[in-house]
Amino acid sequence: MRTTKIVCTIGPASASRNSLRRLAEAGMSVARLNASHGTPEHRRELIERIRTVEQNTDRPVAIIHDLPGPKVRTAPMDGTVHLDAGTTVEYVQGKTTTNDRIALSHDITAVESGDRVLLDDGRIETTVTDVSESAVTACVENSDDIGGRKGVVVPGVELGLPTITERDRRELRVAAEKEVDFVAASFVRDGDSVRAISRVLSDLDATTPIIAKVERGIAVRNLDDIIDAADGVMVARGDLGVEIPLESVPIVQKRIIRRCRDTGTPVITATEMLESMTSARRPTRAEASDVANAVFDGTDAVMLSGETAVGDHPVLVVETMARLVERVEDTAEYDDLRRQQAPEADSAQSDKLARSASVLGRDIDATAIVVATASGKTAVRAAKFRPSMPVVAATPSESVRRRLALSGGIVSGPPTETATSADDVIGNAVESALGTDIVSSGDRVVVISGPRNDDAGTGTSNLLKIHVASDRSSNARE
């Protein structure tokens, strides 16, 4: 079983029902919708299409609705404008770009002389030489063409952008209406940025989990606060590699993944993982090593962006990613690292129980840790301790099954029936595990469960049991 999950960005190359089905069959666990492109109506249609494919393939597929966030962009334009090295260019907030004046979506006059203004996410570098009340003058450092709606980054400068834009609010309404599984928050500064989005979702009567994208230097500095506020984290290396020195990105990536591992926070490693396969049929050796290192680091998921959104052969890319991940996970080095990466349990009873399940499972050579869970939280806790066997989540909730599709090391069994007793909870959980390709009748499993102590069937997990899996219907016939 592949432990690390694969996130696919859906775009023109992969949006058809047939393409989505093939992506799911190739290994896609999570579909990402980039709200920086397309229309809300298009995303509504795409969400419905993904749900249909999920039902037809009987594979949980989570949906991430990725918000545009507060980002400065060049104004829309027809064609491009050529910038020559050594010339000056003026930046203004506006709608019309000329050869020597670039219109931007937001004012950037908070900069000072000597600051860098990077166009097209770092492809063109300019250095500020003068700042007036309404314009910024800069020297162009390298020649290239700039087009409309390209990202503009000013490293290390707070430009006073809103935490949530009107466009974000519009997309959050779509996310709440269509009940997506995750919302990805772009360009967060700190935990308060995440909490602000959570409040908007709450006002929309939605409890959608939030994935915080760490793509700014200030976000790296506020990482603990962000992890505390968010339900997941994305190492968004594209913008991060413009905000901080490029040579620091691999180090920061490892630190973010390690911190998320220690707290049991799902983490995605993203950007340019198999970028060359946007057109090529094979990845570069460096890309293969990049994927392998993220898996060795303990990331929950690896993400494909343009490779599956606009690439020439998105299904082949996912198949390649799956093979790379599986090869790494089938090594003694990976097993050794997983054991080393297991954190200590915190003071919570459920945390200690989950860690004990991992140790017990290893000692008895269990096939799986089977977790009866209403919310999915206990399954995530069990996976946090990097057990050597899969965690099988047994839940009655389809939405929980989908949300767990992001968490590494967890497989969701078929939905369980409503239980009327603690014994039923365990029996249903084992029955669900038998519905996967992991557990067979006669296998020893470790079961984590708890009492039904409210109408929703949720409660604190307090039971750990060694169980021999068997089909209850077979027992009844005997």
pLDDT tens for each residue of 319-345: 999 999 999 999 999 999 999 999 999
CATH code, residues 5-68+163-331:
3.20.20.60
Q: Which of 2, 5, 21, 73 is catalytic?
A: 73
Q: Is 351 helix (H, G, I), strand (E, B) or coil?
A: helix
User: How far apart, in whole angstroms, are the C-alpha atoms of residue 373 and residue 411?
Assistant: 13
Reported as a pLDDT band with limits 50, 70 and 90, residue 451 is low
User: How far apart, in whole angstroms, are the C-alpha atoms of residue 358 and residue 370?
Assistant: 11
Tell me if residue 32 is catalytic. Answer: yes
User: How far apart, in whole angstroms, are the C-alpha atoms of residue 458 and residue 32?
Assistant: 30
Domain boundaries, the chain: 5-68+163-331, 72-153, 342-477
Tell me if residue 178 is catalytic. Answer: no
Give the mean model confidence (pLDDT) for residues 204-217.
98
Tell me if residue 271 is catalytic. Answer: yes
Q: Which amino acid is at 113?
A: S
Q: Which of 213, 261, 381, 386 is catalytic?
A: 213
Structure tokens of 182? 């995750």
Of the candidates 378, 464, 475, 365, which has an alpha carbon nearest to the alpha carbon of residue 431?
A: 475
Rg of the chain's alpha carbons, rounded to an integer? 24
For the whole prediction, is pTM greater than 0.75?
yes
CATH fold for the domain made of 72-153: M1 Pyruvate Kinase; Domain 3 (2.40.33)
pLDDT in tens, 375-430: 999 999 999 999 999 999 999 999 999 999 999 999 999 999 888 788 899 999 99
Q: Which of 2, 21, 22, 32 is catalytic?
A: 32
Backbone angles phi, psi at 419, to 5 degrees: -100, 145
Other Cβ atoms closer than 10 A to 64:
26
Q: Which of 74, 271, 308, 436 is catalytic?
A: 271
pLDDT value for 413: 96
Domain 342-477: top CATH class:
alpha beta
Reported as a pLDDT band with limits 50, 70 and 90, residue 452 is low
pLDDT value for 462: 84
Tell me if residue 255 is catalytic. Answer: no
